[in-house]
Amino acid sequence: MSTNDNPKSREKAPAGQKAADWADGRVGLYNLAKSNLRKIFPDHWSFMLGEICLYSFIIIILTGVYLTLFFKPSMGEVVYHGSYVPLQGVRMSEAYESTLNISFDVRGGLLVRQIHHWAAIVFVAGMLVHMMRVFFTGAFRKPREINWTFGFLLLVMGMFDGFLGYSLPDDLLSGTGIRFMEGAVLSVPIVGTYLSFFLFGGQFPGFDVVPRFFTIHILLLPGIMLGLVVAHLILVVYHKHTQFPGPGKTNKNVVGMPLMPVYMAKAGGFFFVVFGVITLLSAIATVNPIWAYGPYRPDQVSTDAQPDWYMGFSEGLIRIMPGWEINFAGHTLVLGVFIPLIVFPLVLTAIAVYPFIESWVTGDKREHHLLDRPRNAPTRTGLGVAWISLYLILLVGGGNDLFATHFHLSINAITWVVRVSFFVLPPVAFIITKRICLGLQRRDREKVLHGRETGVIKRLPHGEFIEVHEPLPQGKVFELTAHDQPKPLEIGAEVDENGVVRKVKRTQKVRAKLSQAFYGEGSQIPKPTPQEHEEITSGHGHH
Amino acid sequence: MSSQDTPEENLPAEPPHGTDAEIAPSDALVPDPGLPPHLPRRQDIDERAAKRSERAVAGLFTLSMLATIGFIAGFVAIDVDKIIYVWPIGHISALNFTLGCTLGIALFAIGAGAVHWARTLMSDEEVVDERHPIEAPPEVRQRVIQDFRKGAGESQFGRRKLIRNTMFGALALVPLSGVVLLRDLGPLPGDKLRHTLWAKGKLLINQNTNEPMKPSDITVGSLTFAKPDGLEETAEDFQEQIAKAALMIVRLEPEDIKDKRELEWGHEGIVAFSKICTHVGCPISLYEQQTHHVLCPCHQSTFDLADGARVIFGPAGHALPQLRISVNSDGYLEALGDFTEPVGPSFWERG
């Protein structure tokens, strides 16, 4: 099998090796491969979430290029005479007509369109879940803060590129989405009307918005995103992957399988798995059936008008906001639309800046390559769950009409529940999550001190029944006690015993307060001390 | 801490993989025992199991080849407009279903084969690699900073302030050209958002019949959509105009109308309101006859058509504008002028 190992002359070398020699002389291939061919990748199921994002991004590019061969990004009006009978004789834009042609006349066109749309749905969902994985395990800590930011930008751009993409066919549903966008832009104080006229090339809808969106959708945003993806991956390779703590795994090593062959086969194979699953999904589940919606007309709309899921939380914001308007001095401040427009990026930014806030609060300058178990960072985990609860309740708000019709509830009641939950749910979610984390920490402590419950019941000579506890293996004890337990920062007394007042900056006070909240009493369960451990284990586990 | 703190039976004689226990975080309760010993898989010790895995992988790759052939055959053989019934999905395009399933299987089988190969036959022994600090060692840092200082000094950037300041000025100004270039993205708004096609004497044309309407055509409980006379679907600016001029007409019992001006601006209880929601511009299309409420299907703003179309629920900020209508000498419904306020979503200059 391994001809490479034979110290044979170069003439006998296999063709691949000759090609590699050739490339090495031009681009320094061997120096590049030296450290990377057997690069170690730790294995954990959650590490494939990022792969799903990367692969669906590639699938989107492949199918997107195909779609551009047939799609006409034009709002010029035509009368439809194609093969989809219900719409024959209907006036529509060339964009909508060409999308109908892709769906009904180009063989395989419908499949590629559906793969493109499904992959976009998976792409954004994958990014959000991947981001949560990174968040809850603390993988964003130094040295990975920049890569966190790149990933966040990819999420935001992915959302917007998705919105632009499903707006292109100029169907009734997506046109309604663009109209909503016009209303949102108009609400911007002072410049809103001008921005809207520049965006649409005049009054809504005009003739410019589809070709403009097209260029941004297929060139501008994907170009930036491709650059960010490459930078994201370069940093992943440079930093080496994080790993979960465990026996033999330290902050200074990386334990796992080599790139060649195992990771190549697994990750390369996984690309085909993702592509295959998305393709099968496109074969059996119709997504965005634009022919059923009809062409866009500003005076028509269908019920159940919903954006794609990733825009759902912004839809929730706009639906639950009370219609506040302030008229003064001949002007209107459209708070009912403008506040959601501002809160929308704030919701996203809240999660994006968290790593920087945490590193400021902790003052931690060390590199972290070992992941946290979420329970061991209760405050962070609580904040993350609070954010998710906010996101989810806004999704519910965005689908309030669907909840009303499917569950036979009053839409007004649902809207009010969402309005109240927007403020109440995140703190409640935070408190509950933190308590669960602390409970899990207590259980870990219990296990370390008293061992595993074996289920074996023993009767003692004097008649008492006890359950035998088995001490944990050393590796397990190590795993459960290896994590850091940071101490809260202290600023010390402001007045010393001689009555001299020490000047403490306000930011320092805030930082100490936050640090107390993160790591103070009630925010973590102390790990067992060696003394406690010895006392119990010397008595051999049962009590 | 030392190893005496832990029960002896839990301690291996020495770390099996020779991991340096000192690397472990100092406050773990016990020393790092190192990586657990590698356990062989069935395929590592039983060649027959390995053969079975090999056949499974090869079988998956073969399945992929067959599926690709099926894809091409389906592409050639199946008509693009053929519809078939597939339980439980329903009536779907035969071609899309065939192409999707064959391509999906062809791709998935490659992936499943590769992953199975990696999991059962390739070595699964974990390998340890060292990490190195991300930041450069101090001497490298020192060297780079020195190089930079040298380069900066040679440029005389810091010394010749005039050059520095004018360069910053030039670089700051030059993007302005790019901003100016964006000016022609669209015309200025002017008062375009304040006016619609409606004007005094314009007939109300029923959108369904394309005919003008008499009051007798409008029955209590019905909802009729209308456009201004002369606006044809074939017109170049139809979309732009209908986006502002779309109108909905309902007939209420005059005694049900609570708003005095609404009654005056209508005709025998027939009232006409802008169809464009004042929230973000969706066309309002859901009418509840009993309560005289209309609901926007996009964001559920609810307006009471019996009370000046004021907002009774949802995110809309103000009432729907009403169009003043009457009946002309031929007995047809006509507008008595344009809307007196801008229709659709609010904007800064609306006032």
- Alpha-carbon distance A229 to A157, whole Å? 12
- Give the Å distances, CA to CA, from A22 to A6, A27, A436, B259: 20, 9, 59, 87
How high does pLDDT run on average in chain B? Answer: 91
Residues B224 and B174 reside in one and the same domain: no
pLDDT mean over B99-108: 98
Residue B311, domain member (yes or no): yes
Domain presence at residue B5: no
Question: Domain for residue B16, yes or no?
Answer: no
* Residue B351: band (very low, low, confident or very high) from pLDDT cuts 50, 70, 90: confident
Residues 6+ apart with CB under 8 A from B286: A303, B294, B295, B296, B297
Q: How confident is the model at residue A540 (pLDDT cuts 50, 70, 90)?
A: low
Last residue of a domain, one of B149, B169, B185: B185
Instruction: Output the pLDDT for position A484.
Output: 86
CB contact under 8 Å between A205 and B239, yes or no, is yes
pLDDT in tens, A454-500: 889 999 999 999 888 888 998 999 999 988 888 888 877 777 777 78
Give residue A531's pLDDT band: very low, low, confident or very high (50, 70, 90): confident
Q: Hunting for tokens 């997506």 — which residue is that? A: A174
Q: Is residue B235 included in any domain, yes or no?
A: yes
Q: Are residues B298 and B321 in the same domain?
A: yes
- Per the structure block, which two tokens stand in for A331? 């002007």
Q: Using alpha carbons only, how large is chain B's radius of gyration in Å?
A: 39
Please give the average per-residue pLDDT across A512-537, as a whole number.
Answer: 86
DSSP code of residue A327: E
Model confidence band, residue B283 (pLDDT cutoffs 50, 70, 90): very high
Phi/psi region, residue B186 (left: phi>0; alpha: psi -120 to 50; beta: rest), is beta
What is the reported pLDDT for A220?
98
**In terms of Cα–Cα distance, which of A512, A479, A517 is closest to A377?**
A517
Q: Is the pLDDT of residue A2 over 70?
A: no
Q: Which residues pair with A171 in a beta bridge?
A: A295
Q: With pLDDT > 70 as the criterion, what percentage of chain A qualifies?
A: 97
Pick B110's closest partner by Cβ from A269, A369, A448: A269
Q: Angle at CA A51, nearest 5°, toward A47 and A55?
A: 170
B233 with B152, same domain: the answer is no
Q: Number of folded domains in chain B?
A: 2
B346, A205: Cβ pair inside 8 Å? no
Residue A361 has pLDDT above 70, yes or no: yes
Q: Say whether pLDDT at A404 is over 70.
A: yes
| Same domain? B197 vs B283 | yes
Residue A316's contacts (CB-CB under 8 Å, 6 or more residues apart) are A393, A394, A395, A396, A397, A398, A399, A400, A418
Do B10 and A280 make contact, defined as CB atoms within 8 angstroms?
no
Reference A332, options B318, B104, B335; nearest CA is: B318
Taking 90 as the threshold, does the pLDDT of residue B196 lie above it? yes
Whether residue B161 sits in one domain with residue B81: yes
Q: For residue A186, what are its two tokens?
A: 């108009």
Dist. CA B307–CA B348, nearest whole Å? 26
Inter-CA distances, A416 with A340, A395, A397, Å:
16, 14, 9
CB contact under 8 A, A265 and B185: no
What is the model's pLDDT at position B25? 47
User: Is omega for the bond preceding B88 within 30 degrees of 0, making it cis?
Assistant: yes
Q: Tell me the percentage of chain A whose pLDDT exceeds 90.
A: 80
Lowest mean pLDDT among A281-295, A518-532, B111-125: A518-532
List the single residue in B with minimal CA-CA distance to A325: B317
Contact call for residues A378 and A437 (beta carbons, < 8 A): yes
| Residue from A536, A513, A322 nearest A448 by CA | A536
Does A262 sit within 8 Å of B124, measured CB to CB?
yes
- With a CB cutoff of 8 Å and minimum separation 6, the contacts of A410 are A404
Same domain as B231, residue B98: no
pLDDT (tens digit, 9 = 90+) per residue, B115-161? 999 999 999 999 999 999 999 999 999 999 999 999 999 999 989 99
State the residue range of the domain holding B297.
193-335
**Residue A213 to chain B, least CA–CA distance (Å):** 13
Tokens of A524: 């973590």
Question: Using CB atoms, which residue from A301, A332, A367 is nearest to B133?
Answer: A367
Angle between helices A94-104 and A109-136 (to 10 degrees): 100
Task: Give the span between the Cα atoms of B340 and B321, in whole angstroms.
Answer: 8
Residue A138: partners with Cβ closer than 8 Å, 6 or more residues away: A368, A371, A372, A377, A380
State residue A499's pLDDT score. 79
CA distance A353 to chain B (A): 22
* Whether the predicted pLDDT of A262 surpasses 80: yes
What share of chain B has pLDDT > 90, as a percent? Answer: 88
Q: Is B19 a member of any domain?
A: no
Burial A36-67 (b: 16+ CB within 10 A, else e): eeebbbbbeebbbbbbbbbbbbbbbbebbebb
**Cβ-defined contact of B317 to A40 (cutoff 8 Å):** no
Contact A537 B6 (CB under 8 A): yes
Question: Is residue A10 scored above 80 in pLDDT?
Answer: no
Q: Has residue B133 been placed in a domain? A: no
CB atoms within 10 A of CB B89: 13
Shared domain for B209 and B251, answered yes or no, is: yes
Same domain, B103 and B225: no
- Give residues with Cβ within 8 angstroms of A62, minimum separation 6: none
Radius of gyration of chain A (CA): 29
Determine the distance in angstroms separating the CA of A398 from the nearest CA of chain B, rounded to an integer: 8
* pLDDT given at position B5: 40
The CATH number linked to B270 is 2.102.10.10
Confidence of residue A539 (pLDDT cuts 50, 70, 90): low
Tokens 């356990």 identify what position?
A: B39
Instruction: Identify the pLDDT of residue B15.
Output: 40
Residue of B180, B284, B343, B346 to mutate when probing chain A, most A C-beta within 10 A: B346
Q: Which residues of B touch A478 (CB under 8 A)?
A: 24, 28-33
Residue B271 touches partner A, C-beta closer than 8 Å? no
Sorted by sequence, the CB contacts under 8 Å of residue A283 that are 6+ apart come out as: A111, B96, B97, B99, B100, B101, B103, B104
Does position A378 have pLDDT exceeding 60, yes or no? yes
Q: Is residue A104 within 8 Å of residue A84, measured between CB atoms? A: yes
φ and ψ at A448, to 5 degrees? Answer: -65, -40
B156 shares a domain with B284 = no
Q: How far B264 CA lies from chain A's nearest CA (Å)?
A: 26
Q: Is residue B348 one of the residues assigned to a domain?
A: no
The answer to whether A323 contacts B301, with C-beta atoms less than 8 Å apart, is: yes
Whole-model pTM: value is 0.92
User: What is the CA angle A313-A318-A319, rounded to 5?
Assistant: 95
Same domain, B242 and B322: yes
Banded pLDDT at A45 (limits 50, 70, 90): very high
So what's the pLDDT on residue A534?
A: 79
Amino acid at B212: P
Higher per-residue confidence, B8 vs A250? A250
List, as ranges, residues 140-169 from B with C-beta within 8 Å of A.
Answer: none
Q: Is residue B132 part of a domain?
A: no
Residue A210 and residue A439 in contact, taking contact as beta carbons nearer than 8 Å: no
Contact between residue B295 and residue B301 where contact means Cβ atoms under 8 Å apart: yes
What number is the ipTM of this complex?
0.92
Do both B197 and B331 map to the same domain?
Answer: yes
* Residues B181, B161 share a domain: yes
**Average of pLDDT values for A256-262?**
93
The residues with which A459 forms a beta bridge, in sequence order, are: A465
